[in-house]
Amino acid sequence: MGAGGNVTADGARTLRERYAAEPQGGLAQLVVGAVGALLIGTGLIAVLAYNWDDFPRWVRIGLALGPLAVTQAVSWWVLGRGETAKPWQREAAAVVQTLAVGAAITLVSQIYNLPGKWTDLVFWWCVVSVPLAWVLRSEAVAIAYLIGIAVWTIAQASERTSYSDAIASGAIGIADVRPWFPLLLAGVLPLWPGLDLRERPAPGSRLVLAASALLGLLAVAAYATVRPAHMFPSFTGFPWLAMLSAAALLLFPLDRGGIAEPLARKPQVLLGGGALVVMALIGTFEGPARDFVMGVGVTASLGWCWLLLAVVVAFAILAFRQGRFAVLAVAGLALVPLLAAPLSADDASGWPVAITYSLVLLATAIALIALEFLGRQGAARIGAALIALLVILRMADADVSLLVKGLAFIVIGSGFLAFNAFVTRRRRVVASGGSPA
């Protein structure tokens, strides 16, 4: 028996092994290590850049590559220590080496006055640096990598808006981000979940991972749908693909532990769901609603659209089997343009779809509230906020006097605050084991 008399010695050992506690000060050491490494690396680059014109070319090349050799030696030493290496040592070694790689690439590019966009350098920097995140288990390098691949993907999509397919891949050399972005995003898999499938990113890294995935997927959607036009490129199919991208992120499969975590620790749900709700709110207006439906027809010929749809359906089936009804309710917002498309003529008004969107949003909000009150995973406050937003939008474009609008806003605001207080009190009662009723 353990000290408390409730757990056997073997059981206590098993629990300690499975839920190993982070040593005290571990996070602080990690942050200090990463910041220190960042300062050393950037300082080194600045020193080299300052002396630039006083050195001959071969000295400059030596100075560009020297730090790379030194930092590689340090990382090798840290790796050689295996599990005895402290987390801050691994983090610092990985960050400094990543900066040394960046310094080598950019300084060589400077020395030979190479043309080209800085985002192309970012691509190569990311590709050759991400293994450091795997082997040294560096969250900072993984975060930098995720930011880098999102920036590069957005840059490619942005360039793509000016050129036709043949031109983009020929004379201009823009990469096709449809295969590239998923491939690059998969570059974090050896770190999260890792080979043992048990590693999870820290909360801050999760946010960057989710944001990178969403921005990258939106950039891919823009890349896939853009059609160059004389003055302004056309993005007719973008909203529908953007909705599918957000739905895929929102529905991303989780294990039991992940599902049980609070919403604040699931940024993919917040960002994916938030993007979907914002687009659905836009869809409650006539013009955008018509464009959303038109976009479905435009994207029907795109392989990327069908791939996304297949992923969303697969994720949705899994979410249904896991009982994640709240995320399913929000993901359903992406289906409205698809279901409306066969029923709408090319020159039809967007009002039926806009009204449908308002009703579906209302139903989604009610579902989020009801699920929480039924004891399932819901989001009553988000549901209430959604209803308040819907009413505000409809009041804003309604042809009524300012006095009526003002009074309506006061009533809605008061109702929202009262509901918020009610939900808070209810959660406190439930948490203390009492009856919510």
Partner 1 sequence: MRPALAVFAVAAVAQWLLPLSGIWQHERVISRGTLLRIECAAPDPYDPLRGRYLAVRPAQSTVSQPEGFPRGGDPVSVWATLEVGDAGLARIKSVSLEPVSGPTVMPLTARWTGTTNGTDVISLEWPFDRFYLNERLAPGADKLVAERRRDGKQTVAEVRLLDGRAVLTDILLDGVSVRELVKQGAK
Which of 15, 27, 47, 167 is the binder for partner 1 (CB under 8 A)?
167
Rg (Cα) of the chain, in Å, rounded? 26
The tokens for 63 are 């100075």
CA-based end-to-end distance of the chain: 41
Binding of partner 1 by 56 (CB under 8 A) = no
Binding of partner 1 by 76 (CB under 8 A) = yes
Judged by CB under 8 A, the number of residues near partner 1 is: 44
Shortest Å distance, C-beta 304 to partner 1: 23
Shortest Å distance, C-beta 24 to partner 1: 27
Shortest Å distance, C-beta 278 to partner 1: 29
The structure tokens 């906020």 sit at 385
- If 0-12 CB within 10 Å is exposed, 13-18 middle and 19+ buried, where does residue 398 land? exposed
Element containing residue 163 per DSSP (H, E)? none
Binding of partner 1 by 254 (CB under 8 A) = no
Interface segment toward partner 1; rule CB under 8 A; list 23-31, 76-84, 272-280, 343-351: 76-84
CA angle 294, 296, 301 (to 5 degrees): 120
Cβ-based nearer residue to partner 1, 36 or 131: 131
Residue 368 contacts residue 325 (beta carbons within 8 Å): no
Interface segment toward partner 1; rule CB under 8 A; list 24-32, 115-123, 246-254, 299-307: 115-123
Q: Across the strands, what pairs with 227?
A: 234
Shortest Å distance, C-beta 343 to partner 1: 38
Shortest Å distance, C-beta 255 to partner 1: 25
Which of 36, 38, 70, 163 is the binder for partner 1 (CB under 8 A)?
163
Cβ-based nearer residue to partner 1, 24 or 113: 113
Cβ-based nearer residue to partner 1, 82 or 257: 82
Q: Across the strands, what pairs with 234?
A: 227
User: CA of 131: how far to CAs of 148, 179, 271, in Å?
Assistant: 14, 20, 27
Which of 32, 70, 74, 110 is the binder for partner 1 (CB under 8 A)?
110
Which of 56, 80, 342, 433 is the binder for partner 1 (CB under 8 A)?
80
What count of Cα atoms within 13 Å lies in the side-chain half-sphere of residue 363? 14
Residue 347: other Cβ atoms inside 10 A: 6
Closest CA to 86 of 33, 131, 124: 33
Which of 52, 306, 320, 351 is the binder for partner 1 (CB under 8 A)?
52
Cβ-based nearer residue to partner 1, 98 or 284: 98
Binding of partner 1 by 351 (CB under 8 A) = no
Binding of partner 1 by 284 (CB under 8 A) = no
Residue 367 contacts residue 322 (beta carbons within 8 Å): no
Binding of partner 1 by 161 (CB under 8 A) = no
Q: Cα–Cα distance between 248 and 332 in angstroms, integer?
A: 11
Determine the 3-state secondary structure of 371 from DSSP: helix
Binding of partner 1 by 55 (CB under 8 A) = no
Binding of partner 1 by 49 (CB under 8 A) = yes
Binding of partner 1 by 128 (CB under 8 A) = yes
Residue 142 CA, chain-centre distance (Å), reads 13
Binding of partner 1 by 121 (CB under 8 A) = yes
Q: Cα–Cα distance between 259 and 266 in angstroms, integer?
A: 9
The secondary structure of residue 195, as a DSSP letter, is: T
Cβ-based nearer residue to partner 1, 170 or 434: 170
Q: Cα–Cα distance between 22 and 199 in angstroms, integer?
A: 14
Which of 37, 41, 89, 129 is the binder for partner 1 (CB under 8 A)?
129
Closest CA to 333 of 287, 283, 296: 283
Binding of partner 1 by 106 (CB under 8 A) = yes
Binding of partner 1 by 115 (CB under 8 A) = yes
Closest CA to 165 of 178, 152, 150, 153: 178
Binding of partner 1 by 377 (CB under 8 A) = no
Q: Cα–Cα distance between 96 and 114 in angstroms, integer?
A: 25
Site string for partner 1, 289-328 (x = CB under 8 A): ----------------------------------------
Q: For binding to partner 1 (CB under 8 A), which residues are involved?
A: 49-50, 52-53, 61, 64-65, 68, 72, 75-76, 79-80, 82, 101-102, 104-106, 108-115, 118, 121-122, 124, 127-129, 131-132, 134-135, 163-164, 167, 170-172
